[in-house]
Structure 1
Amino acid sequence: MASETPSSPTPVSTAPPRASRQDGTYPRPQLVREQWTNLDGTWSFRHDDASAGLMNEWTDGWAAGFPDARDIVVPFPPESVASGVDEPGFHPVVWYSRTITSDDLDSAGLSADSPRVLLHFGAVDYRASVWIDGAFVGEHEGGHTPFSFDVTHLVSTGDDHTLVVRAEDDPHDLTQPRGKQDWHEDAHAIWYRRTTGIWQTVWLEAVPETSIRTLRWVPLDHARIELGVRLRGAAAAGSRIRVSLWWDERGEHLGTVESTLPVAADVFDLVIPVVRQTNGQAEDELHWSPERPRLIDATVALVTPTGEEVDVVASYLGMRTVGIDAGVFLLNGLPYDVRSVLNQGYWPDSHIAAPSYDAHRREVELIKELGFTAARVHQKIEDPRFLYWADRLGLLVWGEAPGAYAFSPTAVQRLMREWMDAVERDVSHPSIVTWVPANESWGVQHIATNRAQQAYARSLADVTRALDPSRPVISNDGWEHVGSDILTVHDYEGDGEALGRTYADDDARARLLYGRGPAGRRILVGDAEDRGQPIMLTEFGGVTYQPGARREDAWGYTAAESGDDWIARIGALYDGIRASSFLAGSCYTQLTDTMQETNGLLTAEREPKVPIEQIRRAITGRD
């Protein structure tokens, strides 16, 4: 796929009449305002390998530039071709600068009714510091989570202002949650090029003095929705939150609910009954699923005691429940076979930043066209715009943390903080059905015998449940489990019949859980118990096949010699899985080739390696 810059959309975007029908460009799809300004595009940039920029006072941006500066296209990381920099070596400190114009502020909606200006960053890897006109704005640590600053006191209409960002990302600091980013200078094995600095949209919006900060949608059951509203600034006693719901597909108004604050506060919590759902014979009409991804649109307004609407946002939600019972995964109370694919979310020219706004939608469409119902976004907290398309088009998603590679107090604190922020950001997306805070004992390499590492993995799972008790949590995907609601296994056996024997029946299940699993790992460690949890094979396959030109450094778990051989191997693996009496789901490795990892179902450019209907038939077992 050719890299397109998302730097040239119309600077002012208008909120759609229904948030469930937006075009995928808005950076925060479940809290939409009518006006905003996209600051992506060409910025001034330079490396600072000697970390001299602070001493040399680059914080004022040198009038939106630096000594020996060059251009970069934001939000593409400087290691990528799409950025225009294309320098993948070790560069632990980088600087960015851009002019915020008076037109930018006007486009963001700055007015007497919306006098506060918010500066938003989707993600900056890993530690960011921000200045405007040389005045320090703030800093943020965490390479995959969003952050914002109120910059009202630093900007004004009629003037231009210089925005400066310093990003620090030490490639050798293994306590940073980094996911698949390589600590070697050149990518090797299953690790890829690094991402430094800005890799998601930077944007401005203007809001009222007191405004809606976050929304948290949680379906409680088939007929009730819990909404948590956090405000920026406290609302006066007697203020109200007014919520109106629509089912746009039918043009059906589902009701309006108001809640009043008895005292001044910045938090509202309310339960919204959906009256139409009390007819049990029709309740599934509104349920969200991959087969029927029905979304409910919402308008949420902050209303003063005198009845004035001071802030109004558009949002959406999905009416669905997930759970586990007696060895099966439940979606909307019924058993559901999870047929998933591992998705690295990595593109050749733009790395972990999507190459265009449309790329997120096309990724979801391709996954569904291949016959999958789910995706495990691997070692990456994905852009919310991908999750929007998963919500809208119907794709289950496993939300996973990018792992650190070291175990220390610093590593524990960093991952815990970033993961908690990620869960809070994404908790309202109906597509996310499972949380995965750790993978393959990364960062807890000695979890089998080390009680401190066991406590850490268990606490990650428990704090996830504390933040969101509505979804299953996996403490350590694929290997040693200490507190998982689903027991997951990674098994790269290349022979379909042998794979089938490992997961055939109850005797095989007992051998798996009470003996040594694949790679010689125990599935249950510490005080973990077999409570009848569902068991899923969440990594398997990884069969390398390279049509056309071949990479000398190609890597995979097994290799096929031709397209026919490749598709036969994949079909045999799926036949073995389908014959299992207890597997509740699976996840094939992987969606696309990624750098030297050539075990994708698609090429790195998102082209199927054989006709897509052949791949779908092998995966689903049907035409």
Structure 2
Amino acid sequence: MTTTTTPATTAGHALDHLPLASRQDGTYPRPQLMRAGWASLDGTWAFRHDDADAGLTAGWASGLGESRDITVPFPPESAASGVAEPGFHPVVWYARTIRQADLEAAGRSAAAPRVLLHLGAVDHRASVWVDGAFVGEHEGGHTPFTLDVTAHLADDAEHLLVVRAEDDPHDLTQPRGKQDWHEDAHAIWYRRTTGIWQTVWLEAVPATSVEHLRWLPAGPAAVDLTVRLRGPVAAGTRVRVALRFDERDEDLGTVEVTTVRTTSAVDVSVPLARQRNGQAEDELTWSPERPRLVDAVVSLHDADGATLDAVSSYLGVRSLGVGDGAFLLNGYPYDVRSVLNQGYWPESHLAAPSAAALRREAELIKELGFNACRIHQKIEDPRFLYWADRLGILVWGETPGAYEFSPVAVQRLTREWMEAVDRDVSHPSIVTWVPFNESWGIQHVADDPAQQAYSRALTDLTRALDPSRPVISNDGWEQQNTDILTVHDYEGDGAVLARRYADDDARARVVGGIAPSGRRQLVGGWSDAGQPVMLTEFGGVNYQPGDQRADGWGYTAAQDGDDWVARVTALYDAVRASGFLAGSCWTQLTDTMQETNGLLTADREPKVPVERIRRAVTGER
């Protein structure tokens, strides 16, 4: 495919007619590709367990018969769903009527005749019908999928949407993260999240439309844009990119698509600072301290100049790297001060209780003094990533692990991980990718050549999908070709921790030998290449204000609030005193089920005043 660039002259600005993506309210389920019309299908659905797996034979695809209500998108194990049955239920069914009001809200018209059904996440395998006709299916419990249901909505009648979900709690080849395979939660694992757990929504689009945008850094004050199109692409089709930063427009020209195919890619180099001298480039860059976002409209035009489609988006301009033992943000060493976030709520499990709760989660991370968070064993709701982009939080992007190594497990996790990277690659807040954690699913990677090959291959595949970010091969344990050496260490004595990470000699002992986990830090013939070292799990101090739960635990325990603050401070003082640590990640943000080692309670209340926690975390006095 070839492209040509020509000057663009337009009256007004495309952003004047579409919502500013960088200033949305946080409810839109796909924040970096927005249209004015969309319809949420969340709310009350019919629901039915199918423990005998009889529904397909019994014809439930055309209607569930006897059923109960469920509130979507909350999983049936959770109280928020109204079902609250946490036991083993490997097959579940949902049904909801699509009404004409839904289609009108989605924006269906003569100019936008195609109706798309989006499902944000259905754990683990989903099948979908409309009026009894099979529409499509998807496997992967943490990534979105889209089905074109236009042909099934041809008349003005109401239509029955049915979703079947399979989620075998005993299938250890499924990527599942922290979801327990026992009936009751135990140790560090939590209640399961089955079926629909992110927003279901409708969107109407033109016959030829923008399907996906990929913004990636391309040098100082520049990005590369890839546009993926849906539908027939005629010769002479053009893509126009219009940007606005701080109310100032940048005229970027147009790009002509000369290859006709269903899916076309358009690579555009966007010179954001074309009219500015080099000293002014910094005012465009994104960081936690200055989370600058650039608004964009990407519009699609036919050979005669008529607009076929237009979407609003945003991007952040920043560079990432590693060098001289440091993590580099925009070319400068940056001290990563992160917190482990399970993204789990007591009333709704992996599903956020509301869009507002996702915003508040991001605000709390900032208020507590962190500049980063590690979303742990979860592919987080994109609306949280929007707030991380807007408020300024560095995010570790991590896959939910499978628990078994087998060809099926490899295929499943690789496919889902590729979808996750594709979904989230444009978020400036995501600064690393983590395809494995603590050897989950590769339990014998220290000695098994096959598991070593898998770890190396998925790490390199991630780099191939996105060469702009560092990749951590296996967070905390038994690493190979990793860009950052990460260590997990739950030592509770600050003085011991300080000695362990004091200087270069200490670094050599931790990285080159047996790590605090009791495992080798580097395996497969790999040796220390001078990468930055980060302590990506530490702390985990149990403290329960008020009534003490007998089943609550952490890696160490505090007697009261003052003792807890003293312990947190001592551990952070040890990290701050280190001569080589490039960053850290505290375990953890909130109490989560039986784990009572959060800085906040499970209900997001600080265990002591926020100011005291912030001083312990940042060292501010």
Whether TM-score is above 0.5 comes out as: yes
**1:373-416 CA deviation, whole Å, 9 max, x = no partner?**
00000000000000000000100000000000000000000000
Q: CA deviation at 1:263?
A: 2.9
**3-state SS of paired residue (1:234):** coil
Q: Does the 8 Å CA contact 2:18/2:35 hold for their aligned counterparts?
A: no
CA contact (8 A) 1:276 1:283 kept: no
| d(CA) in 1 for partners of 2:471, 2:336 | 15
Which residue number corresponds to residue 578 of structure 1? Answer: 576
Asked if the contact 1:341–1:374 (Cα under 8 Å) also holds between the matched residues in 2, the reply is yes
> Secondary structure of the residue that 2:591 maps to in structure 1?
coil
Could you tell which deviates more after superposition, 154-163 or 114-123? 154-163
Query: Residue type of the partner of 1:261?
Result: V
Instruction: Give the structure 2 partner of residue 34 of structure 1.
Output: 36
Moved more, 109-118 or 309-318: 109-118
User: What is the TM-score normalised by the length of structure 1?
Assistant: 0.96
Q: Post-superposition shift, 1:278?
A: 5.0
Distance in 2 of aligned mates of 1:139 and 1:549: 47
The 10-residue stretch of structure 1 (255-264 or 419-428) with the greater mean CA deviation from structure 2: 255-264
- Give CA deviations for 1:209-247 in whole Å, capped at 9, x if unaligned: 110000000111113210000000231111100000001
- 1:427-446, aligned counterparts within 5 Å? 427-446=425-444
Alignment of 1:43-82 (within 5 A): 43-61=45-63, 66-82=64-80
Q: In 2, are the aligned partners of 1:169 and 1:197 still within 8 Å (CA)? A: yes
- The 8 Å contact of residues 102 and 156 in structure 1, kept in 2 or not, is answered as no
Matched, 1:263 2:255: no
Corresponding residue to 2:147 among 140, 149, 164: 149
The AA in structure 2 aligned to 1:46 is R
- Which residues in structure 2 correspond to 1:2-21 (within 5 Å)? 17-21=19-23
Offset of residue 67 of structure 1? 3.0
Q: Unaligned 5+ residue runs, structure 1?
A: 1-13
Q: Deviations over 1:261-315 (max 9, x none)?
A: 1232322221111234751111100110000001000000000000001100000
Task: Answer whether contact 1:77 1:197 (CA < 8 A) is retained.
Answer: yes
What CA distance in whole angstroms lies between the structure 1 residues aligned with 2:558 and 2:576?
22
Please identify, of 94-103 and 233-242, the stretch whose mean Cα deviation from structure 2 is larger. Answer: 233-242
Amino acid at match of 1:42: T
Per the TM alignment, residue 434 of structure 1 is displaced from its structure 2 partner at its CA by 0.4
Equivalences for residues 72-471 of structure 1 within 5 A: 72-247=70-245, 250-265=246-261, 266-276=264-274, 278-471=276-469
Determine the C-alpha separation between the residues in 2 that align with 1:409 and 1:110: 43
Identity %: 71
Match of 1:612 in 2: 610
Report how far residue 445 of structure 1 moved: 0.5
What amino acid sits opposite 1:217 in the alignment?
W
| Kept after mapping to 2: 8 A contact 1:175/1:414 | yes
Does structure 2 conserve the Cα–Cα contact (< 8 Å) formed by 1:15 and 1:22? no
Separation in 2, partners of 1:60, 1:72 = 18
* Preserved CA contact (<8 Å) 1:240 1:259: yes
User: What is the rounded CA distance, in whole Å, between the counterparts of 2:299 and 2:517 in structure 1?
Assistant: 54
Aligned residue-pair number: 604
**Normalised TM-score (structure 2):** 0.96
Alpha-carbon contact 1:16-1:22 (below 8 Å) kept: no
| Dislocated runs of 4+, deviation >4 Å | none
What is the one-letter code of the residue matched to 1:263?
T
The runs of 5 or more residues in structure 2 that have no matched partner are 1-15
- Alpha-carbon shift at residue 115 of structure 1 (Å): 0.8
Q: Distance in 2 between matches of 1:514 and 1:230?
A: 45
- Mapped to 1, the partners of 2:154 and 2:41 lie a distance apart of 17
Letter of the 1:230 counterpart: R
| Distance (whole Å) between structure 2 residues aligned to residue 496 and residue 156 of structure 1 | 67
3-state SS of the aligned residue for 1:342?
strand
Could you give the per-residue CA deviations for residues 563-598 of structure 1, whole angstroms, max 9, x where no partner exists?
A: 000000000000111111000000000000000000
Question: AA paired with 2:255?
Answer: S
